[in-house]
Amino acid sequence: MNAFKAYKACVPIAWSPNLYITLVRGIPGTRRLHRRTLEALRLGKCNRTVMRWNTPTVRGMLQQVKRLVVIETEEMYKARKQKEEAHRALRPPLVINHQPSSATGTL
């Protein structure tokens, strides 16, 4: 979720003390300045998330690379992680009996 969607969801990025930044686009083919900015944010690989304090300096860096990253507040990040955990939760095993019910006693 980008900053505009967070604003529309009534969770202004400016009010959150921490920002969770995820790199969602690849680094190859980007400008050197953008690569250096991502390096300063400690984002080296795709789908990696880092937590940074919400300061004007960090927000300025994010403004530079806004096409490459997704910015989340702490509440949004925790909600996304809980949703992923629920999706990966263990389900009861599926038991399949290949023998017909009448043939179980004969053999």
Would the pLDDT of 107 be above 60? no
| Cβ–Cβ < 8 Å for 38, 68 | yes
Domain ranges of the chain: 28-84
Q: What is the mean pLDDT of residues 15-40?
A: 82
DSSP tag of 96: -
Among the ranges given (1-15, 19-33, 72-86, 90-104), the one the predictor scored with the smallest mean pLDDT: 1-15
Output the pTM of the full model.
0.62
| pLDDT score at 93 | 76
Handedness of CA 8, 56, 46, 73 (dihedral sign): negative
Handedness of CA 8, 10, 13, 19 (dihedral sign): negative
| pLDDT score at 6 | 52
Instruction: For residue 51, give the 3-state DSSP assignment.
Output: strand
How far lies 33's CA from each of 21, 24, 71, 89, in Å?
18, 18, 19, 41
